[in-house]
Chain A
């Protein structure tokens, strides 16, 4: 089945530094990946849609310069949280569509980011 690998699973960083989160489709090609943010005890909020070879599409209210998304290949999308602050602490989850499985969406295991 379709597998999406997300790393790291947990990261603690100092305020002002940048953190990169990787999302890889292991056994399928993903022309589109989605990045979500989840606050404790809340649902998933779509941050951006990542398209291979083109600029990401960000949801309203998401700072493009803070959350940099790169989708340079058909199997890898990265989310970089730049100049992180404590309010950026959250659970970030990526998702990719496996077109072999009609409308199949697979999720990574998530990244718990803590900014201190």
Chain B
């Protein structure tokens, strides 16, 4: 069965520092990959998604993610973190066929300090 692993439960970075959140997936073929952000008590907002093509994907709020097939990874990055980026981040996958739901990783909580 497909699965998503986010190895970091909680990350703390200083405002202005760079950020990388890790995501690994386990699936026979290349699934469709997503990153979502969730503020406390809120729904999920899509940051970016990868289906095919260029392996470096640009998203909203200055985020980007790079798909690396050899490592089964889809890490999220941001060059300079803002205090407003503090939130929960979820990596998700869906098979590249069928009307199926997203499968989520356990999430990474990002704290930003001054």
Contacts and interface: CB of A to CB of B under 8 A. Distances in A.
Say if A and B assemble together: yes
A31 B45 CA distance: 21
B53 interface: no
A103 B101 contact: no
A75 interface: no
B51 interface: yes
Contact-residue size bin, chain A (C-beta under 8 Å from the other chain): 20 to 34
Interface in A75-109: 91, 93, 95, 97, 102-109
Contacts of A103: 32, 49, 51, 94
Interface residues of B, number: 22
Contacts of B101: 34, 46, 49, 95
Contacts, number: 49
Contacts of B28: none
Interface in A17-56: 31-32, 34, 41-44, 46, 49
Contacts of A93: 43-44
Interface string B75-113: 000000000000000100010000101111111010000
B107 to A, nearest CB: 5
A112 interface: yes
Interface of A: 6, 31-32, 34, 41-44, 46, 49, 91, 93, 95, 97, 102-110, 112
